[in-house]
Chains A and B, each alone.
Chain A
Amino acid sequence: MNVSTAVFYLIAAVAIGSALMVAFSRNIIYSAFSLLGTFMGVAGIYVFLGADFVAAVQVLIYVGGILVLILFAVMLTHRITDVEITNRAAGRIPALIIIAVLVYMLIESVTETPWVKAKEVVYAATAWKIGDLFLDTYLLPFELASLVLLAAMIGAVVISRKEIKE
């Protein structure tokens, strides 16, 4: 086993182990911080797939934005001193059965399908290709995305502000 394979196994183990912590931890602070491991592991998987720009975007937006937002929400909605029951879970046994059946079916179908592979897998810088596609083929969705982000920003401000009584 060479070094890159070992690194791949390590990254996959970090991503899946952190996701296990998110799903099973009793304390919501631990769950929120485990999300960091999952996001960084997924970014590493993107690097293995030759998607450097998507990996950078993952680190910037997920780790730098969404995770900080989630941590802020946790801190704002909980009294940090009573940490025992911050992350209640219900109906674990039926959910575990459903998830076991689902993961068995998914892995079985993935491994049994004869995937057609590209003749040669290329590793090249992707940023310029993505920029071209955004300003050419995907111009309308790109502009719509900026509108969606503006609407989400205004909506978040309107929903979360305090009502001012006259």
Chain B
Amino acid sequence: MTRRTDPHISMLVSALVMGIIPHVLILSPWINACCFLSWIYLMLGPKKAWPLPPRWLTALLTFAAFSGIVIGARGTFNSDSGIGLLCLMAALKPLEINNHRDRMITLFLAYFMVIAALFFSNSLEMTIYLYFSVVGITGCLVLVNHPDILPSKGFKLAFTITAQALPLSLVLFLVFPRIQGSLWGVQAGSAGSSGLSDTLSPGSLSGMRQSGELAMRVSFEGGIPGVAERYFRAIVFQNYDGKSWRVSWKIPDATTLPEGDDPVRYTVILEPHQQHYLVTMDYPGESPPGFTLSHDLTIRSRDRLVKPARYSLVSYSAPSPSPLMDWEEIYTHLPTTGNSRSRILAERLRSQSGSVGELSNAILRYFRDQEFYYTLSPPELDENPVDGFLFNTRKGYCEHYASAFVYLMRAAGVPARVVGGYYGGEVNPYGDYLMIRQKDAHAWAEVYMEGKGWMRVDPTAAVDHRRVERDAAPSGSSAGEMLDGRGGFFNGISLKVQLAWDALNYQWYSRVIGYSTVSQRKFLEKLGLSLDSMAGILKTVFSSLALIAGLMMLYYLRLQMKTGAGTDPVKKGYMRFLKKLESVGVICPPYSGPLDFAEKAVAERKDLEKEIRGITSLYVLLRYGGKEKDENLVHDFLVLVGHFRPGKIQ
């Protein structure tokens, strides 16, 4: 028995293509190839009279494909393999479509692929694309169910219904209760990475990532701070093994919180970076719910960050001066051997300075006076990287300077640590917020000073600006300055468009993507609803149900109006008259004219004869008697209809 290609195949394949487009880049090439080959085969099949593969072959293909997924996943089944599985199903399912149910399942697969795409990207442009792919797939759904109607009509209907559903879905979106945490474990995918990592090895990898990708957006309650104050801390590196700086995971929670009279309140939207920390301005005085503030005043999370995080914090420019804890002697640890010339330098500088502050300044002066260069592509360093940097190459970027500075401090017996984070960023003039990109990643040092606590020192800033390579300047210039002069006219335009688009994205992220339990509460409070008491919850539930019911009613009435009288008040009035009669059991059959019907109605309700005849004759006069424009008559007619009460027996 040869099976024939389904007659609806082109519709089904179009729907699947719309569904797979967002996934094409993350899918393994062989899965893409499977989909492509299968669909091309099916589309050309009817024309070339190719038979469908027999059942045993389909079964074999399915088995092979699933084994491919299992092997490709190498034992870890994460969301990437889930998407792969979904797309393989989309490739194979159309090969065995037999009946209407199979077609519907194929279309549901397409919808499912759309929804799955949302778990990988939630940018505004992706959302807009996905909205239209929902419209497209819905159009296919209409046409698969009703193949005889015109395709343009099917897609138009899909567009209409999707648009009609939008207000309703927004209400549901706003009021549907959000819970914190997840129902089951979340497996991280591979999408996204960042300029920061939890190891820092100056000299091992030449060249630094210069990505314009957005890392985070920050909006401030007061004004945006000046460039010099825009230090955003993320990671503190404690351990140095002679090559790399690493994060110690044994840091206890914070005991003394920073305080002061210069709190900065701000909100961060952090792009997912697959790491375990949040980025904060300077020293945060608290941590968002679900995260812990560790002793070095960085915020850590148990899970990797796989989706954008939105949090509001208060930060201070300095931590509170607290005595050094016993365990904090790790901040003076160095490997016992290696980098001997650096140790001698440190010893010499220490003997010349009377305090930690003087020592720090001496090192910075050393960076400034000697021939140190700032470059993003420094030469590689081998065995003793600190010695190599300080005495041979003297070329490097922030990591080299911070690392060398902290090494020297520790060699001189002063507690010091390397801090990784971001610095600078550009102001978006359309949105009044700061955009920080991956290329703004920065590393600096913190030194412990008796009586003052941990103080920030940025050794990179010490480099003579004449020795900073062009195009490698640490960013910090605001986008506004760039708008003013540099670059041609078209560059200016495209930059403006980019900034405006980012401002739109910012609103999107902060209002839609970042909508949380907290924002939901705030939103409901604005409406005078609360979720604190049982009564409040009930009130909220009922108001939202009422709103939804109201929307539906409105919509239903609109549909009714379309089917019925439209906007003509006279016809509407007559319809109302008919409705009133219908409610007492006198039904007007659609074929009967007004006069015929009046006879019939009078025969059934002798008591209403006067009213029925009066209204009918007025109606006939208004509609067919050439009195359409007579406003008084229209008014009389409507009043008569209004007062008509067939329910009362007279």
Chains A and B come from one and the same complex: no
